[in-house]
Amino acid sequence: MKKIPVLLLLSLAGATALSAQEVYHYNLFYYQRATLFEKLPVDSDDIIFLGNSITNGCEWHELLDNPNVKNRGISSDVAMGVYDRLEPIVQGKPAKIFLMIGINDVSHDLSTDSIVGNIAQIVRKIRHDSPATQLYIQSMLPINNSFGQYRKLAGKEPQIVEINQRLEQLAAAEQCTYIDLYSHLTAPGSNDLDPAYTNDGLHLLGDAYLVWKEVLQPYLK
């Protein structure tokens, strides 16, 4: 057997490791959660909550007292991350999908056009692959930068408002339902997330999920 120099072996090993890493576009938790979701069935009676940590942070089936409600939230997820894990969901042809995504895209400094365009890809794939599914595009939620926890979101409040306006237009164009959660969670007289509903300026406390539940009631019947 021909000997290969050690340095060349190390170089090849490094190249192989780099190639393996290049297929991972998201963080490790994304793949842990997404591969679990691939093993969990979705069927036509199910109601899917799809999004990032704000969705991930709720026990939806308990909150809504419905065993057919399934949480498909992944912390830190972005719009293209949701798109890339849609297949096991749309294959099951669920009854309803409640989508909320975008705040992590904002923190990554994506433009409004890019964010809305990526969400539009999600919407169109669901509409194409599971046309009987009732799709609800939920607004992005307000943030509160007075907590000082998320510097990458500082000054991004106007962009969130702009994205929500565009999402409402997208829902109308794609014949989906837009749900305004934003206005129900702002502090009176401001565009800030009410501090009664958060302890870090982004993620929600229990009372906020109760408000969310009330807003959703007409769409769960």
Show the low-confidence residues of the chain (pLDDT under 70). Answer: 1-24
Chain segment 194-203, per-residue pLDDT in tens: 999 999 999 9
Of residues 180, 178, 182, 177, the one with CA closest to residue 194: 182
Give the chain's domains with CATH numbers.
Answer: 42-219 (3.40.50.1110)
User: Residue 24 has what pLDDT?
Assistant: 57
Chain segment 40-67, per-residue pLDDT in tens: 999 999 999 999 999 999 999 999 999 9
User: Residue 25 has what pLDDT?
Assistant: 85
* The pair of three-digit structure tokens given for residue 129, joined into one six-digit string: 């692959």
Distance CA 113, CA 203 (A): 25
Q: Taking the alpha carbons of 54, 49, 113, 172 in that order, is the dihedral positive or negative?
A: negative
